[in-house]
Amino acid sequence: MRYIPLLSLISSTLAAHNTIELPKPTRELEWKDVNFLSTSDVHGWLLGHQHATWPEPNYSGDFGSLASFATHMRRIASDKGVDLLLVDAGDHHDGSGLVSSSADASSKAEDIFSMLPYDIITIGNHELYHYEDALEEYRNRGRWNGRYVTSNVNITIKAEDGTFQSVPLGERFLKFETEQGRKVTAFGVIFDFKAHARGISIQGTSKLIKEAWFLDAIKDKPDYFVLAGHMPARGETGEFLPMFDAIRQVHPKVPIYVFGGHTHVRDCVQYDDRSIAVVPGRYLETVAFTSSSLPSTDENAPLDVSRRYIDGNPVSYKWHTKTSDDDFELPIGQNISLALLRLSAALNISTPLGIAPHDYFLNRHPYGHPRSILTAFSDKVLPYTIQDKERNGTRVIIGNAGSLRFDLFQGRFDRNDELTVSPFTSAFLYVRLAAGLARNITEQMNRSGASKFIPSQPTTKLEEEDRVRRIFDDYMAEQWEDYLIQGGNDHLYDQESNQMVLEHGKIPKKPRTMGFVTKDRCPGKGDDIEHYPVPFVGNQPDFIETPFPDVDDEEIIDVVSMDFALDDFLAAVNVLDPTIGLKEKHMKPYAEGLEINVVFGMYAKEMWQKGL
Ligand SMILES: [Zn+2]
Ligand SMILES: [Zn+2]
C-alpha cells in the first residue's frame, strides 16, 4: 500500500518538471581515451532541485537520473573501448532536509548515495565537524567497495584491545585497473582546515608528500594518476600542487587528472600540458565531464583534454546518451529514486507546509525590496513568529542575514525547503535597553560587519562556511557584472515577467535560460548550455532588524538578538555606550525553545495556506 502515495509523488514531481521546457545541448561530448564524470558538494541534494523558478529547472535531475546517466555513459565508454571513471570530492552532509532533518538522516542518505558505484570518492569538511559523523563514515566505508580514499585524514578509534588508535578514515590510496586494462593510482585529500572535530587529524599535503607510504605509492608508473580532493583547483585552500609536483618529480610525463570541490564553483585549470584539474560545482547542479587522450608515441606532445559542465537534468542526460523517455531510466536509477522518496517520506520533509506566494531571493534584489528574502525575514517572518508569551513589551529583533542560505521559491514550501533556506539552529536572547541606543545597534553591527571578522584561517564551522560563501558569491557577482558590461539586458532578471515570457512561448533569443556562465582557465567553452547569468546584487547587510517600534528614545524596550550573532551584538552595544559593559550573562532567553530553523515553516503554516 505504501507504493501508491510514493508513486503518485513521483508522477507529481515529474509533472511539475515537465511543464518547463529545458534547452537541449547542442555540442556532443568529446570522448577521448580517458573520460570522467565528477560531482562534488552534493550536500544532500539527492532529490534534485524541485522548483520551477529559474535556474532551478536546470538542476531538476535527482540522483536516480544521474545514476541512469552514469550507467549509460559507462556502456558508451565500454562500446568505444575507452575508460569512464566516476569521481566525487565530498561534502555530502549539511544542506537539504535529506541530510539535515534528523541525527541519522545523513547516514541513510549516504547508503543511497553509495548505490551508484563510484570509482574514486573522498571526504569533505562537512563529514568531519562532528566526530560521530566521521565515525559513521569510517564504520561504513565498506559501502563504497574499497573506493573511499582519504589520503590525509585519520580518525582516532577505540581498538578491540581498548587502546585508542589513529587510523586512516578510508583507504590511504587506490591502485586499480580499468575495464580497458589501464593502471590507475589515485589519492583522495582534503584541504588542511582547523575546524574539524576532536579525534580527527588532517595532514597538510606538503607534509603528506614526505611520507614513506606516499613515496612508495607513486614509485611505480601507472597509465595515469587521479587526485580527488575536497579543495579548489586554484586559489585559497587549493592545496593540490605539492602532490602534483611530487608526482612530477618521479613521473614527468604521466597524465595527472585532478578533481576538486569545496568552493561550490565550476572551474578548470591546467597545471601543465599533461594534466587537467576540474571542479564541478555544487548541490547536484553540475556533472562535469572531463576527457583526455593518453600519451602517444611522441612522449612530449601535450595531451588533448577537454571539460564540460553538464546541467544536472534528464534532458541533458538523455541528449548526451542518445536515449529517450522510453529507455533512459534504468533499474539502478529507478531504485535510487524510489529509495530517496521513501527516505524523504520517512523523514517527513516533503509534506507541504504552505504555498509561497512569491519568490524571495537572497542576492537578486537589494535589502528592502519586497522580493528580497532578507526583507521578508525582517519585516514579516521574524515579527510574526518570534513572540515571547511571558513578555508583551515593545521589542526589536536583530537577525543575522548569514543564517539564511538559499532562495525561497514561489509554490510548494515544505520542511526540505525550510531547512534549505535556514539550516542553522540558533535561539533568541534579549536585554532591556533604551530605545535611543537600540535604534543604532543594527547599523553599528553592520558597520563592523560579520564578514569583516572572518579570519584568514577560519577555526569554526561558521567561519569556514562564510569563506565558501564569499568565494561562491564572488563567482556569481562576476558573471552578472560581466553580463551588464557586455550590454546584457537587465530587465530579464525580473523573475515574474521572465516566467511569463516563457509561459507564453515568447522566449528571448539565445541564450534563453538563466544559469551559470562559467569563465575558467581551460581552453574553449566549458558550459554545456549557454545561459545568461543569475542577477546578483552585492553589499547585502550582515544584520537586519524588525520594524522599529514607535517609541521615545528614553523608553526601555526588549532588544532581541540571535545567539548566532551574540558576539557582534555585545560588541556593538558596548561601542555605542561603553558604560553599559554588556556581557553574555546579562542576556536572557526570549521565546524560549524556539530556534531559527523552524520560523519559516511556522510562518508558512499560518500565512501561506491559500492554494494548499
Ligand atoms: Zn560544500
Ligand atoms: Zn567543503
pTM of the shown model: 0.92
Lookup result for grid cell 564572488? 474
Residue 434 has pLDDT above 70, yes or no: yes
Residues with CB under 5 A from ligand 1 (ion): 41, 91
For residue 44, the CA-to-ligand 1 centroid distance in Å is: 10
pLDDT at 20: 66
In this predicted model, what pLDDT tens digit does every residue of 74-120 receive, in sequence order? 999 999 999 999 999 999 999 999 998 888 999 999 999 999 999 99
pLDDT at 8: 45
For residue 190, the CA-to-ligand 2 centroid distance in Å is: 9
Q: Which ligand is nearest to the CA of 124?
A: 2
> In which band, very low, low, confident or very high, does the pLDDT at 29 lie, cut at 50, 70 and 90?
very high
How far is the C-alpha of 600 from the C-alpha of 419, rounded, in Å? 9
For residue 254, the CA-to-ligand 1 centroid distance in Å is: 30
For residue 283, the CA-to-ligand 1 centroid distance in Å is: 8
Of 267, 229, 240, nearest in space to 88 by CA: 229
Average pLDDT over residues 61-82: 98
pLDDT at 503: 44
In this predicted model, what pLDDT tens digit does every residue of 323-356 receive, in sequence order? 999 999 999 999 999 999 999 999 999 999 999 9
Residues with CB under 5 A from ligand 2 (ion): 91, 124-125, 262
Residue 572 has pLDDT above 90, yes or no: yes
pLDDT at 449: 72
Q: Which ligand is nearest to the CA of 464?
A: 2
Q: Which ligand is nearest to the CA of 93?
A: 1
pLDDT at 486: 86
Which helix (H) or strand (E) segment holds residue 224: the answer is: strand 224-230
For residue 263, the CA-to-ligand 2 centroid distance in Å is: 7
C-alpha cell read off for 438: 537600540
Q: Which ligand is nearest to the CA of 42?
A: 1
> In which band, very low, low, confident or very high, does the pLDDT at 299 lie, cut at 50, 70 and 90?
confident
> In which band, very low, low, confident or very high, does the pLDDT at 500 lie, cut at 50, 70 and 90?
very low
pLDDT at 14: 44
Q: Which residues pair with 562 in a beta bridge?
A: 428
Average pLDDT over residues 378-398: 93
Of 50, 29, 57, nearest in space to 311 by CA: 57
How far is the C-alpha of 290 from the C-alpha of 305, rounded, in Å? 7
Of 21-25, 174-178, 454-458, 559-563, the range with the lowest mean pLDDT is 454-458
For residue 93, the CA-to-ligand 1 centroid distance in Å is: 9
For residue 46, the CA-to-ligand 2 centroid distance in Å is: 17
pLDDT at 39: 98
Residue 296 has pLDDT above 80, yes or no: yes
In this predicted model, what pLDDT tens digit does every residue of 173-228 receive, in sequence order? 999 999 999 999 999 999 999 999 999 999 999 999 999 999 999 999 999 999 99
Burial of 379 (0-12, 13-18, 19+ CB in 10 A): middle
Q: Which ligand is nearest to the CA of 125?
A: 2
Mean pLDDT rounded to a whole number for the chain: 92
For residue 92, the CA-to-ligand 2 centroid distance in Å is: 9
Residue 4 has pLDDT above 70, yes or no: no
pLDDT at 3: 42
For residue 196, the CA-to-ligand 1 centroid distance in Å is: 14
What percentage of the chain carries pLDDT values higher than 70?
92
C-alpha cell read off for 519: 569563465
CB atoms near residue 201 (< 10 Å): 13
What secondary structure does DSSP assign to 27-43, as a single string? S-----SEEEEEE---T
Q: Which ligand is nearest to the CA of 461?
A: 2
For residue 262, the CA-to-ligand 1 centroid distance in Å is: 5
For residue 124, the CA-to-ligand 2 centroid distance in Å is: 5
Cβ(305)–Cβ(291) under 8 Å?
yes
pLDDT at 511: 72
In this predicted model, what pLDDT tens digit does every residue of 438-451 receive, in sequence order? 999 999 999 987 65
